A and B are shown apart, each in its own frame.
Chain A
């Protein structure tokens, strides 16, 4: 199977609001995210943080309330329904949470893959990989599995089949929602290996997961918290992400050392790094009402506000604000 061209994703100030009966819920409150073509990314975060919503937006299943989201050549905020349909038929593959939701139970494994390929215009269908190739990409043995129905496969095989179906049209972007949920460790490993192979093939992969192993294997993790990008992990390293309003989510271990309410002196170093020291000197003149006793703020809710002082980020002080 020839390597697909990975598709890049760019989100700027992405906002999505769920309009329910009598009230609105802001699911995404301004997400900025860049995914390079061919990159693999895990979206992590607490339940209700907006991960699946972001995935749905990237798949063109929801329209952003505000902001911009570019998936390959498609500006999803401006794309028509036909554009979105075309995008999903050729460029974006989606794996829903729960393998069976991605499969037609009355078709065989092979037929499910070919069913997905039928969305591609006939003139381009010849270029698509054969079902066996797609199977081999996700590590599914064709022999003995081709003609089985999803119910006859093991849970791991079923999930890999779901991946295969999403990859049937050789998309440049694969979006998977919780691909390893409800799987035992062996099945999970099989799925993770499949994702590895997909990544290695050049497809941009974005996975929503609660599984740290998946995140670790994908190399980059983006933590979504309160509808925003809170942190990122790359190659095992965890990074805080500075939001567009200057907020930074501190990792939990840092918050244990520097509890909320702590005044920090933030100094930009000549090397480009930022030094944050707990202030022993009197804090800068700031309204006492802005201070909240650190003990009252749970660590996960603590946000470091670095006051802007014009060009650069030279700060003479900072404090921990309760962001709940």
Chain B
């Protein structure tokens, strides 16, 4: 028989306790392993998410050259030569070589194309590898030979181009005298996805607006499949680009440092070959590094208290078990075993179980992290098995060994007769050195936390304060128990006496109270932090996204967007939004036009109640008459008189959607009543009548006179409701000097003009507000920040009069600085002078509420409004939940749950260890006549006090710790501390934590009561166990 036989038989004999020891030791090892494994996985997740979310320009690497043949010869080399040069360089940089995908080569140059008999158009003549695979050819085929090109559908429709037509192209800037090249259109394309990485950094699809400083209109790129076609003019500036997309999912944390250094080295090497390296990857990685760094700092802060708790639990565990084995250890001493053998005999079982638990704990920890990765982290994130994990397990094992030795020391040193005593010696708890150290540390950490919540010592404050609270609670419980014992003795109350005696005398009481208090406090802190952070994330997402879903789209002009949206969605739960960012005083002011009547159904506007939003929406859209719509022909019946020698011309100012306003000439006024008419061919689809214009019929500056009485305006076979009798229905357009001009309502609109004004005197139909009502967030962009009325550029670059209809702390999606106004009215105002289709700075969005169709994006595309990007509240929340703060808080929650599991295990084990003695005592009490009901009540009172006090103290301390620390901890993004907390109680992690903890402890008590049912008088017979 060997020592192993005794050890293994002992473990089997105490299989229940052995299993609890194994489980607790496994949990402890799992907790130790969790920190490095989860921290690493979380960092990887943040890196992967960050790279996936970054724009193409932020992750790809572009190599190229740009210039003329003499100035930049490399730009005029073939893409194949450039690729070979770069490939040779990459061979010396293995990380880059592994992480960069195959390059997409492109050559392009500014060109001017001239369709037959048409004005010149600015474009980019472009070659790109395998371009046809990324275009949808609506007509024709992919170019095969030199001299063949593809043009965009937009260009083809706008300029009447078709397959087979010839294009004259001069490669070079507009105005440069470049040689002519002739190309044949062999296909018409639409891009499959303008946002895909393939297109790199070059803007190929930028139709509309002038090209640079010239008046030449810019159109989409013209593609050729022959590089030489682009390089034909050696004097032209040719851009050669090799775009290397990044394999974002393959980037590991260990690659980050190497990437930066290899990119720097590659830049130097390529410079020798006259190639430029263009990348923003290092900046992107630096930005992501802020998040990964935050995790690296947060995880140890969570790990240390959990590890210490695990260590303490192991200490208690070993102390309890060794104490229970006192009689066996006494036997070994009685037989004369030497001290070393006695220690092995007393500790061997526990140490073996701890050793066995180590690999199980490592596997469990890794499995838990892998499970967490699958559930919570970025797709494709897996646990990494690294040496740090095993080091943590070894440290945990070593610490467990030390804990075991320290815990068993007292029992092992007791004499034989002391070990054989049935009633344990009363232990006087004195302020030990350890308690003193903890209290001092807690004080220091509290001071640090109050000074700087982000200081590492300050971050430990909640855990240390929980330990102090547990120590104090344990002492108070002991004191209370002794008082209760004395009282119960006097009064003869058996249940109170039994419970108080156990609590006052058992050395395990204090330890259990500390463990349960700390565990509950950790969980309470974590749960509170989670709930507060979840609310903060929700608010941040609400503020950032602004609606349930937001689609960034491409539209010709605002009215086109609104019309397409009405066709795509009739539910009334989505609205068109147009935004523009206007520079002001070293910053920008965001202007956003919304369909204000849909605001309450669509926008998420934090800080404003539904009633407030309705009120603001009403203020943004005061009642105004509908615009007057005209078709292909307009007729104005009017009576003219008072005409002088200078002929006066009458015109109708109309605006087609997306087109600048123009004045249709109705003819020269003649005295008497007459119907003046004009054809409006551009108004086939409908135009808006902005007003009537009177102007000098001849050139010169002489004053002219006219008195006009407009009786009717007709178009499309119907008379327009001109509202001539309504005061202010017609007004002088802004910018026209009012002197000499009167407007009188009546049965007919009476206009009297006596002016020498050189321009048109426009009397506009008042279907747009003179000053645009706006909701202002932040200060007014004016000299007076509190101004209620101010001028500021609107959608056009012209100053627009705004009046503040309401103030808000923030605007949905915009933030704390911006102007929000009604889109329809803003467009009406802008259309008086400008075509909004020509404004390139406008950004078009569709905001959708939860009840809008789920496939709204597809429906918009079908209506000719392609979706460039889509965001959703749920997607944003999902992203935020994988940012560093949320990932750190998840680990906090895991740690809190592990802590409570440990505490429940400690309570159970403390009950089971020494159960024989306890059962013996209870059996003896039953034999003496104490009823089972009273004994049960005594046990319940005992556990109610033992667990109730730490439960309450733990939750209070945990919550207080959260109040102390959370304002200084970033809860949503790493660059923003929480600041003031606006937590609203609700169904979240905290109530769940309370419920689960309570349930766990109640179940524990029930398990103990069940065990104590075995306290029957039979136990008192010799040999019964």
**Distance in Å: Cβ of A254 to nearest Cβ of chain B:** 37
CA of A96 to CA of B420, assembled, Å: 10
With beta carbons under 8 angstroms apart, the residue of B1, B6, B327, B336 that contacts A89 is B336
B94 in contact (CB, < 8 A): no
- Specify which of A100, A105, A115, A120 lies most central, judged by the most chain B CB atoms within 10 Å of its CB: A115
Find chain B residues with CB under 8 A from A118 CB: 3, 335, 337, 341
With beta carbons under 8 angstroms apart, the residue of A61, A106, A120, A150 that contacts B9 is A106
Find chain B residues with CB under 8 A from A102 CB: 331
User: Are A151 and B1025 in touch, CB under 8 angstroms?
Assistant: yes
A182 in contact (CB, < 8 A): yes
User: Are B417 and A119 in touch, CB under 8 angstroms?
Assistant: no
Given known pairs A56-B417, A96-B420, A101-B420, the reply for A107 and B1025 (CB within 8 Å) is: no
A 79-137 contacts with B by CB, 8 A: 85-90, 94, 96, 98-107, 110-111, 114-116, 118-120
Given known pairs A88-B336, A106-B12, the reply for A150 and B5 (CB within 8 Å) is: no
B 1-32 contacts with A by CB, 8 A: 1, 3, 5-6, 9-10, 12-13
Given known pairs A98-B1022, A106-B12, A106-B13, the reply for A119 and B5 (CB within 8 Å) is: no
**Distance in Å: Cβ of B753 to nearest Cβ of chain A:** 117
Find chain A residues with CB under 8 A from B336 CB: 85-90, 119-120, 169
CA of A71 to CA of B956, assembled, Å: 63
With beta carbons under 8 angstroms apart, the residue of A62, A90, A94, A105 that contacts B334 is A94
User: Are A104 and B328 in touch, CB under 8 angstroms?
Assistant: yes
- Specify which of A86, A89, A169 lies most central, judged by the most chain B CB atoms within 10 Å of its CB: A89
User: Are A61 and B1022 in touch, CB under 8 angstroms?
Assistant: no
Find chain B residues with CB under 8 A from A169 CB: 335-336
Flag A254-289 by CB within 8 Å of B: 1 or 0 each.
000000000000000000000000000000000000
With beta carbons under 8 angstroms apart, the residue of B1, B10, B334, B1022 that contacts A88 is B334
User: Are A85 and B337 in touch, CB under 8 angstroms?
Assistant: yes
Given known pairs A61-B416, A111-B5, the reply for A151 and B1023 (CB within 8 Å) is: yes
B785 in contact (CB, < 8 A): no
**Distance in Å: Cβ of A127 to nearest Cβ of chain B:** 16
A155 in contact (CB, < 8 A): yes
User: Are B327 and A101 in touch, CB under 8 angstroms?
Assistant: yes
- Specify which of A102, A103, A119 lies most central, judged by the most chain B CB atoms within 10 Å of its CB: A119
CA of A94 to CA of B415, assembled, Å: 15
CA of A90 to CA of B1, assembled, Å: 19
CA of A101 to CA of B422, assembled, Å: 12
A225 in contact (CB, < 8 A): no
| Residue in B closest to A90 when the chains form the complex, CB atoms | B336
Given known pairs A100-B1023, A182-B1022, the reply for A88 and B335 (CB within 8 Å) is: yes
User: Are B337 and A61 in touch, CB under 8 angstroms?
Assistant: no
**Distance in Å: Cβ of A197 to nearest Cβ of chain B:** 21
Find chain B residues with CB under 8 A from A119 CB: 332, 335-338, 341
A 54-75 contacts with B by CB, 8 A: 56, 59, 61-62
B 328-349 contacts with A by CB, 8 A: 328, 331-338, 341
User: Are A100 and B417 in touch, CB under 8 angstroms?
Assistant: no
CA of A110 to CA of B6, assembled, Å: 12
The number of residues on chain A lying at the interface, defined by a beta carbon within 8 Å of a beta carbon of chain B, is 36
CA of A119 to CA of B334, assembled, Å: 10
User: Are A105 and B13 in touch, CB under 8 angstroms?
Assistant: yes
Find chain B residues with CB under 8 A from A105 CB: 13, 1025
CA of A36 to CA of B716, assembled, Å: 141
Given known pairs A101-B327, A150-B1023, A151-B1023, the reply for A107 and B334 (CB within 8 Å) is: no
| Residue in B closest to A56 when the chains form the complex, CB atoms | B417
With beta carbons under 8 angstroms apart, the residue of A59, A103, A107, A150 that contacts B6 is A107
A158 in contact (CB, < 8 A): yes
Find chain B residues with CB under 8 A from A114 CB: 1
Find chain B residues with CB under 8 A from A100 CB: 1022-1023
Flag A234-270 by CB within 8 Å of B: 1 or 0 each.
0000000000000000000000000000000000000
Find chain A residues with CB under 8 A from B341 CB: 118-119
**Distance in Å: Cβ of A51 to nearest Cβ of chain B:** 15
Given known pairs A86-B336, A106-B13, A119-B336, the reply for A111 and B1023 (CB within 8 Å) is: no
Find chain B residues with CB under 8 A from A103 CB: 331
Flag B745-756 by CB within 8 Å of A: 1 or 0 each.
000000000000
CA of A241 to CA of B395, assembled, Å: 66
Flag A131-148 by CB within 8 Å of B: 1 or 0 each.
000000000000000000
Find chain A residues with CB under 8 A from B12 CB: 106
CA of A98 to CA of B5, assembled, Å: 25
**Distance in Å: Cβ of B10 to nearest Cβ of chain A:** 6
User: Are B415 and A155 in touch, CB under 8 angstroms?
Assistant: no
**Distance in Å: Cβ of A65 to nearest Cβ of chain B:** 15
User: Are B1 and A155 in touch, CB under 8 angstroms?
Assistant: no
CA of A99 to CA of B331, assembled, Å: 12
Find chain A residues with CB under 8 A from B5 CB: 111
Find chain B residues with CB under 8 A from A120 CB: 336
Flag B303-344 by CB within 8 Å of A: 1 or 0 each.
000000000000000000000000110011111111001000
**Distance in Å: Cβ of B178 to nearest Cβ of chain A:** 99
**Distance in Å: Cβ of A103 to nearest Cβ of chain B:** 8
**Distance in Å: Cβ of A4 to nearest Cβ of chain B:** 16
Find chain B residues with CB under 8 A from A158 CB: 1022-1023
Find chain B residues with CB under 8 A from A85 CB: 333, 336-338
With beta carbons under 8 angstroms apart, the residue of B10, B331, B337, B1022 that contacts A106 is B10
CA of A111 to CA of B334, assembled, Å: 17
**Distance in Å: Cβ of B118 to nearest Cβ of chain A:** 102
Find chain A residues with CB under 8 A from B1022 CB: 98-100, 155, 158, 182
| Residue in A closest to B333 when the chains form the complex, CB atoms | A85
CA of A151 to CA of B10, assembled, Å: 15
CA of A104 to CA of B3, assembled, Å: 13
Flag A36-65 by CB within 8 Å of B: 1 or 0 each.
000000000000000000001001011000
B 993-1025 contacts with A by CB, 8 A: 1022-1023, 1025
A 156-184 contacts with B by CB, 8 A: 158, 169, 182
With beta carbons under 8 angstroms apart, the residue of B9, B10, B334, B1023 that contacts A155 is B1023
Find chain B residues with CB under 8 A from A89 CB: 335-337
Find chain A residues with CB under 8 A from B337 CB: 85, 89, 118-119
Given known pairs A106-B9, A107-B6, A116-B335, the reply for A61 and B415 (CB within 8 Å) is: yes
**Distance in Å: Cβ of B245 to nearest Cβ of chain A:** 67
**Distance in Å: Cβ of A223 to nearest Cβ of chain B:** 24
CA of A102 to CA of B1022, assembled, Å: 13
User: Are A115 and B1 in touch, CB under 8 angstroms?
Assistant: yes
Find chain A residues with CB under 8 A from B331 CB: 101-104
CA of A56 to CA of B333, assembled, Å: 13
Find chain B residues with CB under 8 A from A59 CB: 334
Find chain A residues with CB under 8 A from B1 CB: 110-111, 114-115
Find chain A residues with CB under 8 A from B334 CB: 59, 61, 88, 94, 96
Flag B952-982 by CB within 8 Å of A: 1 or 0 each.
0000000000000000000000000000000
CA of A87 to CA of B10, assembled, Å: 27
CA of A105 to CA of B338, assembled, Å: 22
**Distance in Å: Cβ of B234 to nearest Cβ of chain A:** 96
**Distance in Å: Cβ of B325 to nearest Cβ of chain A:** 10
Find chain A residues with CB under 8 A from B332 CB: 119
* 10 A-B pairs with C-beta separation under 8 A: A85-B338, A89-B335, A94-B334, A99-B1023, A106-B9, A106-B13, A150-B1023, A158-B1022, A158-B1023, A169-B336
The 7 residue pairs across chains A and B that have the minimum distance between CB atoms: A89-B336, A106-B13, A88-B336, A119-B335, A119-B336, A106-B9, A85-B336
User: Could you list which residues of chain A lie within 8 angstroms of chain B, going by C-beta atoms?
Assistant: 56, 59, 61-62, 85-90, 94, 96, 98-107, 110-111, 114-116, 118-120, 150-151, 155, 158, 169, 182
User: Could you list which residues of chain B lie within 8 angstroms of chain A, going by C-beta atoms?
Assistant: 1, 3, 5-6, 9-10, 12-13, 327-328, 331-338, 341, 415-417, 420, 1022-1023, 1025
Q: A104-B6, A158-B1023 are in contact. List 7 more A-B contacts (CB 8 A).
A: A85-B337, A85-B338, A100-B1023, A101-B327, A104-B10, A151-B1023, A155-B1022
